[in-house]
């Protein structure tokens, strides 16, 4: 049986007021409730993901500042879920929904603890959180209601930190990455990019089409940053596009 996330009580303890809710037609209200419910569930699930980063960080022996940042991210994501639940309730919805089936952070059997941690950091922060920052920035620019903007801004500020955590940890660990590990990480980026494309490009679940924005952030931010660490990001992206058959080269090709 799929577990149910019920944040109705937490939402009542985190009240928000939405003037826009009084002016929405039924279709717009339903769409807004669905979007914020989806984010509520995503944020709650993200707390488990960041919690899963702590044991491998300890096994690898990174600086304590990274342990603290990952622990803070867990708390951030739980707070985000409560905020989203409060918005759902303010819109007249019910802050209760099936949980996402989130696997534990992979242990990556067969590779070193260092490489396993790097894989997860690339997947979770360098790709996932960096793309989420871009999506949230656009949501913020398009939000017209003041409470929407306040909630999005609070979440966005934290998500920037979660993205930065990954890039800083990658820099911290770079001296320990040898050529063979870089090659294997390049191979791992293929399925990592594929998951990113599926989340933002193939499912079409978001109210606003994220694909054009994802093209920009992948090509202009993520790939160049990864290549600065001598990781073969561009070939990995191209392989992921080819495997997913997502209109490459028109949609996902590198920009000139």
**DSSP string of 125-146, one letter each residue:** IIIIIHHHHHHHHHHHHH--SH
CATH number of 9's domain: 1.20.1260.10
Domain end residue (candidates: 131, 153, 176)? 176
Domain end residue (candidates: 124, 143, 176)? 176
Q: Where is 145: in which H helix or E strand?
A: none
- The model's confidence at residue 41, banded by pLDDT at 50, 70 and 90, is very high
Taking the C-alpha atoms of residue 95 and residue 156, their distance in angstroms, rounded to an integer, is 21
Same domain, 155 and 36: yes
| Percent above pLDDT 90 for the chain | 71
Q: What is the pLDDT of residue 102?
A: 67
Q: What is the pLDDT of residue 145?
A: 79
Three-state secondary structure call for residue 170 = helix
Same domain, 139 and 255: no
In this prediction, residues 143-158 reach a mean pLDDT of: 90
Chain centroid to Cα 247, Å, comes to 23
Taking the C-alpha atoms of residue 68 and residue 55, their distance in angstroms, rounded to an integer, is 12
Domain end residue (candidates: 152, 176, 200)? 176
Q: How does the average pLDDT of the chain come out, rounded?
A: 89
Number of Cβ atoms within 10 Å of the Cβ of 104: 10
Same domain, 29 and 143: yes
Same domain, 31 and 141: yes
Taking the C-alpha atoms of residue 2 and residue 38, their distance in angstroms, rounded to an integer, is 16
Q: What is the pLDDT of residue 152?
A: 95
Taking the C-alpha atoms of residue 225 and residue 223, their distance in angstroms, rounded to an integer, is 5
Q: Inform me whether the pLDDT recorded for 21 exceeds 70.
A: no
In this prediction, residues 158-182 reach a mean pLDDT of: 97
Question: For 104-116, what is each residue's pLDDT tens digit?
Answer: 688 898 999 999 9
Q: Inform me whether the pLDDT recorded for 162 exceeds 50.
A: yes
Question: For 234-253, what is each residue's pLDDT tens digit?
Answer: 999 999 988 876 544 334 44
CA angle 157, 52, 136 (to 5 degrees): 25
Question: For 207-230, what is each residue's pLDDT tens digit?
Answer: 456 778 888 999 999 999 999 999
Domain that holds residue 210: 178-256
Q: Inform me whether the pLDDT recorded for 122 exceeds 80.
A: yes
């Amino acid at each position: 049986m799929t577990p149910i996330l019920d944040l109705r009580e937490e939402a009542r303890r985190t009240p928000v007021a939405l003037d826009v809710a009084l002016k929405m037609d039924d279709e717009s209200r339903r769409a807004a409730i669905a979007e914020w419910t989806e984010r509520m569930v995503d944020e709650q699930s993200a707390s488990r993901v960041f919690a899963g980063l702590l044991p491998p960080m300890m096994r690898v022996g990174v600086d304590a500042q990274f342990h603290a940042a990952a622990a803070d991210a867990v708390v951030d994501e739980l707070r985000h879920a409560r905020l989203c639940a409060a918005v759902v309730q303010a819109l007249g919805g019910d802050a209760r929904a099936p949980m996402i089936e989130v696997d534990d952070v992979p242990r990556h059997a067969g590779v070193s603890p260092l490489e396993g941690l790097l894989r997860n950091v690339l997947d979770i922060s360098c790709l996932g959180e960096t793309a989420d920052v871009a999506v949230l920035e656009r949501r913020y620019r398009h939000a017209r209601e003041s409470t929407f903007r306040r909630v999005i801004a609070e979440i966005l500020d934290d998500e920037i930190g979660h993205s930065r955590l990954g890039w800083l940890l990658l820099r911290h660990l770079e001296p320990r990455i040898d050529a063979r590990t870089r090659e294997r990480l390049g191979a791992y980026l293929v399925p990592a990019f594929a998951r990113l494309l599926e989340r933002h490009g193939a499912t079409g679940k978001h109210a606003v089409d994220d694909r054009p924005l994802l093209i920009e952030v992948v090509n202009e931010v993520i790939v160049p940053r990864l290549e600065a660490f001598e990781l073969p990001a561009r070939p990995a992206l191209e392989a992921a596009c080819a495997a997913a058959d997502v209109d490459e080269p028109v949609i996902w090709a590198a920009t000139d």
